[in-house]
Amino acid sequence: MGLFNDYTDIEHKVKTEPRNHELSLSVVIPFHYGYDLLAKTVTSLIQQTYPKDRIEVIIAADANHADAKFITEQYETEIDIKLVTLYSNGWGAASSRNAGIHVARNDVIVSLDSDMICPPSFLESHMIWFHKSAKIATIGPKKFVEASKIQPADIVRNFTLISSLPEIHSVSNNLIDSRKDKRIPELKQLKSHPFPSNCFHGGNVAYWRDDAVDVGLWDETFNGNYGYEDIEFGQRLFEKDIKLIVAGDATTYHQENHFVSPAKRQKGMSINRTKLYERYPALGRFRRNILGLVP
């Protein structure tokens, strides 16, 4: 089942060799709802330790274009930021990510959701890996927090206000009775994981732009329903001998939201999960038999 994912040699380089900042990156953020959440996400990106002249931010909005335009204009003097507009046919994360990739100027794509607050070292923690290997994609962990009382000014003034928020139960982290990222047990074993793509959640991952193009970009047939387009994209990267790596320090703080109702979320996930399992039966068997996940 799956391909070998041992990246010990790359990890050794990351730990022992000097860091540099030669590569440039494009952060692609799909936007559907949530002006306040997006404002905090973008604010956190202008506070990064990675050189600002190496960062491009692309908002790919498939709804609420006026909100996305206002955010873009508000921050355009702070960072290189641009807006791409599309029109929604339900939940369209794959189309939005592809639209961002199409206009991206840089070699590395960081896929980020619009409800993520990023620590100052976030981009650097992804990019250190890309300076050491041309055959990788990175996966960052998440912490689930209630950040509704946090304002963009708080992120600028004192990031400890965010990092000290208690973790919460989240509809986006459907592990029973756990406030921790449900992927943690798998992430700890990712070097020997038969299907590391199972941890490839699109809200916090990075990959080479050329690799995304080479595998055919994100599959837009998953549009219209929530979920699984990211695992499917990660599986195609993996099958191209690209190692999927845990960038353990590239943690994001997921802001709780209710963009999709629980009933609509579950219905959409069921449709897309079936599509994923039909395409990759061995991955489906792994999820059912090893992880005990929903069929």
User: Which candidate, 27, 107, 89, places its Cα nearest to that of 59?
Assistant: 27
Tell me the sheet residues that pair with 243.
136
Instruction: Spell out, as residue ranges, where the chain has pLDDT lower than 70.
Output: 1-3, 89-90, 170-178, 258-262, 293-295
Give residue 181's pLDDT. Answer: 80
Residue 2 lies in a domain: no
Residue 143 in any domain: the answer is yes
Neighbours of 295 (CB within 10 A): 9
Q: Is 295 domain-assigned?
A: no
Total tally of structural domains belonging to the chain: 1
Please give the angle made by the CA atoms of 151, 143 and 220, to the nearest 5 degrees: 95
Residue 1 located in a structural domain: no
69: CATH: 3.90.550.10
Residue 57 counted as domain residue: yes
How far does the chain reach from its first CA to its final CA, in angstroms? 18
Residue 88 lies in a domain: yes
Q: What pLDDT is stored for residue 179 in this prediction?
A: 79
The answer to whether position 116 is within a domain reads yes
> Tokens standing for 105?
């100027």
Domain that holds residue 246: 8-289
Instruction: Determine which helix (DSSP H) or strand (DSSP E) holds 30, and give its type and residue range.
Output: strand 25-31
pLDDT tens figures, 54-80: 999 999 999 999 999 999 999 999 999
**Which residue is it, tokens 């489906």?**
284
- Whether 33 is in a domain gets the answer yes
Q: Is 0.85 surpassed by the pTM of this model? A: yes
